[in-house]
Structure 1
């Protein structure tokens, strides 16, 4: 049977539930379910009876960890056209390969995104990725999952400390003498990053920033600059949701005859390689992709070994990388 969730809903039984019902440790359940030595016949039977009552289904990846064999991780990405995802995928693949694990990737943008989420959950041993709230249940209820998210609870996750990042950006811009700091946000904002930027400005006694939202593309960054210059032409600094929008913003300001950084400073978020390929080179709040990948793989390993997802979370900070745009 299923056990009760936090909100009264049913959830699949876990290895910890079986251990509690059989009166043994989680490790003993693992050894009994995998028919390993050093477990008495009576204990093995008690564990199997408890598993049957609870309708517990052993995780096939956890069995591989015990018996040896390959583990496949599904990496869920928002949009492969955004270079953030290929850069992170490369690091994730490298960290997985160190354990002889495999990684498959699926792009969940577009109308059939939910179908692709549902499909990959049935084909892999664990999932890592950025998942919209409405799609998380498709995965977390079926397969061990590590979310790269700040707004998740009750699930293993790697979170990003955008609060410190936005404070670093504002401190730098204020130090440059900038006083009219705007935000180019992702579509369907305001995002958490925009809210944290506003809070960082308030701490400095700065006026609330202008906020323009745009599609998460280079073209979106250009469009956002056009809108920003119409609504708040006195802008002297812009913090962008990510580097993709920031690179578009650089082009938008150039088209408008506005000099970066002389007239307006621009800061992106993520620290992507594309920031060094434009002129002026992009100042950015860079995230350590290697650290994100390492944490994600470690959390997958912990999940497959039966650890409680509630206790599995890591945090990654950003570093302000100063280049030419701010």
Structure 2
């Protein structure tokens, strides 16, 4: 068999010397199959590393297909928006969605993931490429969001941040801003911060260590980051935040300090969340289309359940952000 060609039920039937209907009955523990035949079918399926069509299994067993959505923190409004879209897209196929909030405790997260993986036909989510989750996902068709395209074990939707961040920097330059700071969400530079640095070098714009801050990606983290930025880099006339939650917090922090946005400093977030339209000034953001992301994820789940196996290139997709200009920049 080719490494990229999925083993089919017909291959198992040929290897076991039975019909495909017998394979279906044997693998689903249905009656009218002898113990010896069932054993032979199971052995053939194991030898061929056969991955059953989980959607078809659901029909045989009389239940709907269930998809597990894994998120890191439901308090971040990005995840409820994604969950809403994914649930809607899954519902169009008659599927249901089970939500798994990993939280910050690794041991608790592992137990939650193990529990959900045993109840669903496929998994979708962020953070699934991390080594500590591999065991839980070994036997579950999985779509990794914002993962590397070189994955040989999972379907992957990679997110290309550069077009959106470049559009934001171009917009800031066009509106007279040349001293752009950034607030990241972790001490290790994120891909977003790496792109920010690269673009500043490319355009010959000001950069110094004082132009970069790190803060928790929470509203309160953004409030505190706004105060620190005015102390640490008072010449900054624009700031790119790691996400919209941080950016909204910064708007609040600047308002408390009587700093005008965008008059004194422009603020740009990333994600394009609905909360950006509920604040004053409304937030300019580098937006991802969560409906398209969810639709692509469900398409890949369907492909996995139909027997397309990694590392097939059909299981690798890329989505990009677009700049949504509002009042804050």
TM-score, normalised by the number of residues in structure 2: 0.83
- The separation in 2 between residues aligned to 1:325 and 1:263, in whole angstroms, is 11
- Give 1:9's aligned residue: none
Structure of higher RCO (CA pairs closer than 8 Å, 6+ residues apart): 2
- Give 1:125's aligned residue: 121
- Give 2:147's aligned residue: 150
- Give 1:10's aligned residue: none
Distance 1:35 1:116, change over 3 A: closer
Q: Is the 8 A contact 1:189 1:213 kept in 2?
A: no
Q: Is the 8 A contact 2:7 2:48 kept in 1?
A: no
Q: Does 1:73 align with 2:73?
A: no
- Local SS of the residue matching 1:80: coil
Q: Which moved more, 1:120-129 or 1:15-24?
A: 15-24
- The separation in 1 between residues aligned to 2:22 and 2:226, in whole angstroms, is 62
- Give 2:324's aligned residue: 321
Q: Give unmatched runs, 5+ long, in structure 2.
A: 27-36
Q: CA RMSD in A?
A: 2.9
- Give 1:292's aligned residue: 293
Q: Is the 8 A contact 1:117 1:138 kept in 2?
A: no
Following superposition, the deviation at residue 15 of structure 1 comes to 5.3
- Local SS of the residue matching 1:16: coil
Tell me the alpha carbon deviations over residues 109-138 of structure 1, each in whole angstroms, 9 at most, x when there is no partner: 121222212221111111101115133313
Distance 1:31 1:188, change over 3 A: farther
Distance 1:31 1:204, change over 3 A: farther
Following superposition, the deviation at residue 48 of structure 1 comes to 5.7
Following superposition, the deviation at residue 246 of structure 1 comes to 0.3
Q: Does 1:105 align with 2:99?
A: yes
- The separation in 2 between residues aligned to 1:30 and 1:253, in whole angstroms, is 67
Q: Is the 8 A contact 2:144 2:156 kept in 1?
A: yes
Aligned pair count reads: 305
Following superposition, the deviation at residue 195 of structure 1 comes to 0.5
- The separation in 2 between residues aligned to 1:50 and 1:190, in whole angstroms, is 48
Q: Give unmatched runs, 5+ long, in structure 1.
A: 6-13, 37-43
- Give 2:205's aligned residue: 206
Q: Is the 8 A contact 1:149 1:157 kept in 2?
A: yes
